[in-house]
Amino acid sequence: MTAHLKLDVVRESDFFVEESEHDIFITGTSFSMPKFDPSTWGRKNLYIQAYDLTLIENIQSPGKVISINTRTLRTPSTITIDVSGGHGAPHTLRANNGRTLGAAGNNGQDGSAGKDAGTIMMHLENHIGQSVTLLAIGGNGAQGQHGGDGQQGPQGRNAKDRITRQSDEGPGKAGERGGKGGDAGRGGKGGKGGNGGTINLELGEAADKTKFISKVTGGKAGLPGENGKPGIGGNGGKGGKGVSCEYEARDHWR
């Protein structure tokens, strides 16, 4: 059985809170909304039923449902009711660099998508007070992960020394060119923006419609991750040693 918790009220009449795993129901006659804690109530759907309701602070429940049904709504100061979706979680590290000589950097992962916005439902006959802003905006996608850097290319092979004989006289051969550096890792794609939510607003003739501002839109897509840097070419091999032959001509006919 769900427990009924009687809370302190600002106005004279009582109200009751009924809470389940996913929903919170607040019912009463004339009362001020109790202090809203986003870290607890903001994780559940919120349903408010009242004859005369006063809102004294903003209400935020990302991606959830907020339903307010009252004859008279009072807002002594400007109020925002927000069910916008959360943003995609960012990558904290870039992709791994190439691990061995000439190896390519790893490609970055795509950014996580933004969360979808929730739903706001308001039905009231009369409104007294300051403006009310209703937001149901999709969360922004996260930037893609940055690609890893390519590793330096391998060193070229050394040239062999010349053989010490007259026919090999001359400079040593050049060493081979160094190997190609590793390719850069590709940056990940940006995450998709979350979908905009829904706002259903029903106002009586006594309510000033210009004091209610609604905004529903999808979230922005995340930026792509940056590409890694390509690896530099490997060092060239060492040149071989040359041979300089010196000899004395002799007259064998003497």
What pLDDT digit, counting tens, does each position of 169-210 carry? 556 666 567 677 778 889 999 999 999 999 999 999 888 999
Q: Is the pLDDT of residue 51 over 60?
A: yes
**Stretch 239-244: mean pLDDT, rounded?**
58
Q: Is the pLDDT of residue 123 over 50?
A: yes
**Stretch 132-150: mean pLDDT, rounded?**
94
pLDDT of residue 19: 87
Q: Is the pLDDT of residue 165 over 60?
A: no
pLDDT of residue 232: 80
pLDDT of residue 6: 38
Per-residue confidence at 241, pLDDT binned at 50, 70, 90? low
What pLDDT digit, counting tens, does each position of 17-31 carry? 888 889 999 999 988
Q: E strands, the chain, where? A: 4-6, 15-19, 23-28, 30-32, 45-54, 59-60, 65-75, 79-82, 119-129, 132-137, 198-203, 212-217
Does the model's pTM come out above 0.85? no
**Stretch 81-95: mean pLDDT, rounded?**
92
Q: 202 and 123 in contact (C-beta within 8 Å)?
A: yes
**Stretch 210-231: mean pLDDT, rounded?**
92
Q: Is the pLDDT of residue 229 over 80?
A: yes
Sequence-distant (6+) residues with CB within 8 A of 155 are 178, 179, 234, 235, 236, 237
Of the two residues 157 and 252, the one the predictor is more confident about is: 157
Burial class (CB in 10 A: 0-12, 13-18, 19+), 233: middle
